[in-house]
Structure 1
C-alpha cells in the first residue's frame, strides 16, 4: 500500500521539512548574518519533528484513522512553526530583529499544503473502504 498518492505527498512534506531547511535561509539580521533553521534548536526541532511525523505517517497505512490523525497533528505543528516565524518577523517590541525575510520562512506553508493534500487522499481511501464494506 505504499504506492498510494498520499505517500508521495508525505514524502515531499518530509523532504521540505527535513531537507530544504539546510538550503534556504529563514532571515537575515540587520548585521548581515544569515540565519538558518539549524542555528536555533527550537526551529530545528520543530522542522525535524514535522519530518518525523510525516515519515511515521507513511508506515501507518494499515490504520488510516491514525494516519489521518498524525497528518492533522503535523499540520498543527507546522502552524505553530509558522506562528513562531510570524512572531519573530513582527517583533512585538517595535524594534525589528529581522531585516530581510528568507524563503525558509515559507517552508511550513508548503508543508501544510502537502499535508492537506495527503489527508484528503487518506480520507478518500477511507471513504472507499467504507463504501465497499457496505456492499458486503
Structure 2
C-alpha cells in the first residue's frame, strides 16, 4: 500500500540502495599493495562484502514494503534494515582506509540517506501501531 508513509520511505531506501551500485561513495588513488580493490571509485561493486550487504539492504527494503498486513514483522524487518545499513556505512568507512588520497563523492548523500529512510519508516510503522491501538480502544 503506497498510501502509508512508511511504504514511501522504504521505497526510497530501496531506490537509494540500488543507486549505490552506480554512483561512488569515495574516489581516490589506492595505496600500493592493496589487491582487494581494483577500482579507483569506492561503490557497492568495489568489494564482495559491499555488494552482498548492499543487495541485502536493497532487497530487504523492497520486501518490507509488502508486509503492511503484519506491522510487527514489518517493524522488525525495518529495524534489521536500519542496522544493516549502518553496518554498510561502517564498512564503507573501513574500505576508505585502502586509499592513499581521495575525496568523498557528492553522491555519498545516497549512502547516508538509506539509514535515515529506514528510521523514518520505523517511525511510520510505530505511528500506525499507535493509531490502530487507539482505534481499538474506541470500539
Whether TM-score is above 0.5 comes out as yes
Is the CA contact 1:27–1:102 (under 8 Å) kept in the aligned structure 2?
yes
Partner of 2:115: 112
Counterparts of 1:5-16 in structure 2 under 5 Å?
5-16=5-16
Partner of 2:29: 30
The Cα offsets for residues 100-122 of structure 1, whole Å up to 9 and x where unpaired, read as 23345443320011111111111
Quick one: distance in 1 between partners of 2:108 and 2:85? 11
Could you tell me which residue of structure 1 aligns to residue 49 of structure 2?
A: 42
4+ residue runs over 6 A deviation: none
- Segments of structure 1 that go 5 or more residues without pairing to the other structure are none
- Count of residue pairs the alignment pairs up: 130
Match of 2:136 in 1: 133
**Length-normalised TM-score, structure 2:** 0.83
Q: Distance in 1 between matches of 2:106 and 2:85?
A: 15
TM-score w.r.t. the length of structure 1 is 0.84
In 2, Cα distance between equivalents of 1:125 and 1:98: 48
- Structure 2, unaligned runs of 5 or more: 31-38
2: distance between equivalents of 1:38 and 1:123? 34
